[in-house]
Structure 1
Amino acid sequence: MQQARPTKPSRVFDRAPEWDALISFVTRPLPHAALGVVSGRRRMGKTYLLRALVEQCGGFYFGATDATEAESLRQFSAALAEHVGSPVPFSFATWDDAVSYLFGLAVPGHRTAGGPAVDSPFLVVIDEFPYLVKAAPELPSLFQRMIDRFQVEESRMRLLLCGSAMSVMGGLLASSAPLRGRAQLELVVRPFGYRAAADFWGVADDPALAVRLHAVLGGTPAYRRQFLADDVPSNLGGFDDWICRTVLSPFSPLFREARYLLAEEADIRDTALYHSVLAAVAQGNTTRGGIAGYIGRKSVDISHPLNVLEDSHLLVREPDVFRAGKSQYRITEPLINFYEAVMRPAWARLEGGQAAEVWAQAGERFAAQVAGPHFESVCREYVLGAGRAMLSTSLGTVGGGVVTDPRDRRQIQIDVAVVEPGSGGSRPSVALLGEAKWGTVMGHAHLERLGRARDLLATRGMDTSHCGLACFSAAGFSDSLRAEAAGGDVLLVGLDELYGRAVPTGLLS
């Protein structure tokens, strides 16, 4: 009789796809060893999720610390001895001995401390694996050797290596790395999406508050409970006081968090250079040339910091969907963007306790450099998720781009676009063109600009026959634009629609 799959504990918020992937990995009926790699930036709840997995499935969990090789081996040996019920701690001479013993526990028929023989998957979770690799660089090679051996011999081993140093974890399976091609699972635990984050913070019924919280703190689970002890603004009117007593207060754990996030990445040495790169992007210099000019370097000189920040999942390069070879950079961690745009320029004043004064003067910067760009990314996320139903065609590439208008000598910025690349004899097509505004009531001028962009793309050979136009606004729409949307051919999406509290106005052909 097939055993029921372990269910996700109710205390684990969201994460249903991640839980299903982990359970499938553990319970897959393979007679050989299997390796999984779980990564994600700090504070995402990886440890919480993996501990729940071990509780539900059984197995061995070890959380590494930043220690010397000898101390790390001693800690691992003691934890393993406790797991198998040994009355005395183990004393392995080398990591080779420890790894060999660990894999021996997963051999079918093996018994520990008088327990039953192993005939079901043996789950092993090694958390913060980069700490161990730093102390013992040979560990990936040792695991590779044992996995290769138990791809021939029988084993019930289900090994999960987990870590927060994204550059290190990404390198485990890259290029000529020892574990390349050995993993059956590669899971990245990402921040909550904007809707899940609103539910997690308990503000889903207040979209104006929810989107501001998400623009500052993103979808990082630890910030609510571990950092702020459930200090949540009760309504939009309490947002200003809340941000002054939390993120902008030198007595709050969140005050220096953005700095710590950068310093924790193993490949980042010159933090001043990396902060300058991030500050350039936060200030609106989103191209490679713009970033280089802002920090006073040549474009070729910033290739390494850009690559490291991308590998660390702190920066993402987003291609222009209309212009091949063009791209823009975006900071993926909202708290870092908020720090670079609002906090870093006024750091001395904030340390001196002038949070209220700094925040009162930061309104324009917050709107232009934090909330506005963040709102655009939320709108793209909406189209990728809940808003897919509004498209009459299959979902293509979702992004943004620039359409050049030679007649008027201007560039039309498209914040939300859905483009389907051509294949065979078919032309590339555009399914959606959208503009997103944070603090502007949108009217006919915005719709006309989108229509002009659609005409220009058609003259370039793109199929726009099924291209809809969409206006996204956090501030609302003019009465005339609402009347136009009621007749069809344009879609209006506000905060209520983004958060699922209303149906978008209008229809797309």
Structure 2
Amino acid sequence: MKFYNREKELQSLKETREQAFRDHSQFTVMTGRRRIGKTSLILKACEDTPTVYLFVSRSNEAVLCNKFSKNINQALNVFVPDSIDSFADIFEMLMGFGRTMQFNLIIDEFQEFFYINPAVYSEIQDIWDRYRKETHINLIVSGSVYTLMHRIFMDAKEPLYGRTDQMIKLHPFTVHVLKEILSDHNPAYTNDDLLALYTFTGGIPKYIETFIDKKCYTMPLMVDFMIQENSTFLEEGNVLLIQEFGKKYGNYYSILAAIASGKNTIPEITGTLGNASVGGLLKRLETDYEVITKKRPILSKEATQTVRYEISDNFLRFWFRYIVKYQDYVQSGFLQGLAEIIKEDYPTYSGMTLEMYFREKLKEQQQFRNIGSWWETSKGKNKEQNEIDIVAIYAKEPKVFIAEVKRQRKNFKPELLQQKVEAIRSKLFFNYEIETACLTIEDM
């Protein structure tokens, strides 16, 4: 699959490289979840210029340095003895080469030094401070473990705090890019195909590339490919989250599984965990790990107790909803049965994802100052009868866009939406013009 999107990031990386080669060394940090395309983007930005690429695997430091010395010798046509067993010595030699040479230095999975030799960060800080003004190296480090990368560079107590010239956090592809990719590879795609690609990948480039390479353009083909023996998708959630959570992942997994199954309020989540206190865990999942998002009714106060949580990563939402929930199917090898469960449930499940799709599509329009949903709770049999899928407040005029999201238009009840509109108008938008719509797959 060709290289898509990332124009702004590419431009920023190229400008930084030119500054490093022209003036003095520059330090860029790139973060983003696994499979987001960090390495591909960095290598694209460094095309046609001398580049040293070092991948930090969790290994013995001396073994790692031996491998690095060979990479450096080949990339720069210099001599670094393979007897060097300290990364600090390797890094100082590279910085020394930067006095007379201009090159990119990429250190991938930079956070792994934390497990190999944490002193490396102090040593890099010392060497960088001494050499950066008199050298011409475009240093780019990247990492998939967000909490560690954030700690290394954003914690004032850490040695590399304040040393970076720019930090780039990569996000998934937008819905506009998903359409472009499908148009290139399957021009006859349907909106249902687009929704399936969004539902299962959430715009993560590696997942998209895998489906495209295998010509899995429809929901059944995608499901069959993911749910087969030896599929990397079956373990992908574990690989992603154990990296972040470490050994204490049990409670986090239980919370995410509860949210994925629809138990998304604090009382519901607490009940799932045997009434254990979950406030601190939820806060860490939201602010430290950025795996979940707290949702409040639009324009509600920060302190409101009317809060719901959702998993912010589409793939993880899918993985917990099916792979974790039906782990016995996976363990017994009854993968065909699991695939059938997913296909049968897909119309309901993708309906929830369709709401997220339209919210993202509205964000891309750059017309709204606030986009969310709205609901009000009430006791009795009519609990939460006033719930609106999408409420978007225009930025430049007193106008609100309110939409109900349905997979099929035949399920839309205009009179019910109008009742909800009158309820929200009386509470929040009595001086606003209100525009209403039913958004379906046809509108994607």
TM-score (norm 1): 0.76
SS at match of 1:122: strand
Match of 1:188 in 2: 169
Contact 1:43–1:222 (CA<8 Å) still a contact in 2? yes
Match of 1:473 in 2: 440
- Counterpart of 1:321 in structure 2: which amino acid? I
Match of 1:246 in 2: 225
- Counterpart of 2:388 in structure 1: which amino acid? I
In structure 2, C-alpha distance between the alignment counterparts of 1:87 and 1:220, rounded to whole Å: 39
Identity of aligned residues (%): 21
Q: Deviations for 1:68-126, whole angstroms, at most 9, x for unmatched residues?
A: 2222233233322333323563433533322222222222xx2xxxxxxx3xx532111
- Counterpart of 1:443 in structure 2: which amino acid? K
- Counterpart of 1:188 in structure 2: which amino acid? K
Q: How does 1:229-240 map to 2 (within 5 A)?
A: 230-233=213-216, 236=218, 239-240=219-220
CA shift for structure 1 position 344 = 2.5
Verify: 1:453 aligned to 2:423, yes or no: yes
CA shift for structure 1 position 421 = 9.3
Contact 1:59–1:123 (CA<8 Å) still a contact in 2? yes
Q: Deviations for 1:128-158, whole angstroms, at most 9, x for unmatched residues?
A: 111223212122223333343356x333232
CA shift for structure 1 position 272 = 3.0
Match of 2:143 in 1: 163
For structure 1, which segment, 370-379 or 276-285, has the greater mean C-alpha deviation from structure 2 after superposition?
370-379
Contact 1:323–1:402 (CA<8 Å) still a contact in 2? no
CA shift for structure 1 position 170 = 1.9
- Within the candidate set 252, 258, 276, 1:280 is matched to 258
- CA gap 1:347/1:398 in 2 versus in 1, 3 angstroms: same
Match of 2:405 in 1: 436
- Within the candidate set 323, 326, 329, 2:300 is matched to 323
Q: How does 1:260-339 map to 2 (within 5 A)?
A: 260-265=239-244, 267-299=245-277, 301=278, 303-304=280-281, 306-308=283-285, 310-325=287-302, 326=304, 327-339=307-319
- Within the candidate set 394, 414, 424, 2:388 is matched to 414
In structure 2, C-alpha distance between the alignment counterparts of 1:245 and 1:362, rounded to whole Å: 10
In structure 1, C-alpha distance between the alignment counterparts of 2:431 and 2:122, rounded to whole Å: 53
CA shift for structure 1 position 161 = 0.8
In structure 2, C-alpha distance between the alignment counterparts of 1:16 and 1:49, rounded to whole Å: 10
Verify: 1:81 aligned to 2:73, yes or no: yes
In structure 2, C-alpha distance between the alignment counterparts of 1:361 and 1:128, rounded to whole Å: 37
CA shift for structure 1 position 232 = 2.8
SS at match of 2:308: strand
In structure 2, C-alpha distance between the alignment counterparts of 1:13 and 1:410, rounded to whole Å: 42
In structure 2, C-alpha distance between the alignment counterparts of 1:140 and 1:453, rounded to whole Å: 56
For structure 1, which segment, 33-42 or 137-146, has the greater mean C-alpha deviation from structure 2 after superposition?
137-146
In structure 2, C-alpha distance between the alignment counterparts of 1:163 and 1:63, rounded to whole Å: 10
- CA gap 1:83/1:343 in 2 versus in 1, 3 angstroms: closer
Match of 1:210 in 2: 194
Q: Deviations for 1:142-200, whole angstroms, at most 9, x for unmatched residues?
A: 3333343356x333232111011111122222231322222222112222223322433
Verify: 1:123 aligned to 2:96, yes or no: no
In structure 1, C-alpha distance between the alignment counterparts of 2:407 and 2:159, rounded to whole Å: 48
Verify: 1:11 aligned to 2:2, yes or no: yes
- Structure with the greater relative contact order (CA < 8 A, sep ≥ 6): 1 or 2? 2
- Counterpart of 1:23 in structure 2: which amino acid? K
- CA gap 1:251/1:158 in 2 versus in 1, 3 angstroms: closer
CA shift for structure 1 position 305 = 6.1
CA shift for structure 1 position 37 = 0.7
SS at match of 2:403: strand
SS at match of 1:264: helix
SS at match of 2:48: helix
- Between structures 1 and 2, the one with greater helix share: 2
In structure 2, C-alpha distance between the alignment counterparts of 1:336 and 1:412, rounded to whole Å: 29
SS at match of 2:326: helix
Superposed CA RMSD in Å reads 3.1
Verify: 1:55 aligned to 2:47, yes or no: yes
Contact 2:34–2:144 (CA<8 Å) still a contact in 1? yes
Match of 1:502 in 2: none
SS at match of 1:123: strand
- Counterpart of 2:214 in structure 1: which amino acid? D
Q: Deviations for 1:264-287, whole angstroms, at most 9, x for unmatched residues?
A: 32x332333222111111111223
TM-score (norm 2): 0.86
Contact 2:404–2:437 (CA<8 Å) still a contact in 1? yes
In structure 2, C-alpha distance between the alignment counterparts of 1:191 and 1:209, rounded to whole Å: 18
Match of 1:40 in 2: 32
Q: How does 1:212-231 map to 2 (within 5 A)?
A: 212-225=196-209, 227=210, 230-231=213-214
Q: Deviations for 1:39-77, whole angstroms, at most 9, x for unmatched residues?
A: 111112221222222323333221221212222233233
SS at match of 1:28: helix
In structure 2, C-alpha distance between the alignment counterparts of 1:250 and 1:19, rounded to whole Å: 38
In structure 1, C-alpha distance between the alignment counterparts of 2:285 and 2:414, rounded to whole Å: 43
- Counterpart of 1:445 in structure 2: which amino acid? E
- CA gap 1:173/1:288 in 2 versus in 1, 3 angstroms: farther
> For this pair of structures, how many residues does the alignment match?
434
In structure 2, C-alpha distance between the alignment counterparts of 1:211 and 1:275, rounded to whole Å: 26
In structure 2, C-alpha distance between the alignment counterparts of 1:69 and 1:400, rounded to whole Å: 51
For structure 1, which segment, 277-286 or 139-148, has the greater mean C-alpha deviation from structure 2 after superposition?
139-148
Structure 2: segments with no counterpart, 5+ residues: none
Match of 1:506 in 2: none
- CA gap 1:73/1:328 in 2 versus in 1, 3 angstroms: farther
Structure 1: segments with no counterpart, 5+ residues: 1-9, 111-117, 389-393, 423-427, 475-494, 499-509
Match of 1:68 in 2: 60
SS at match of 2:153: coil
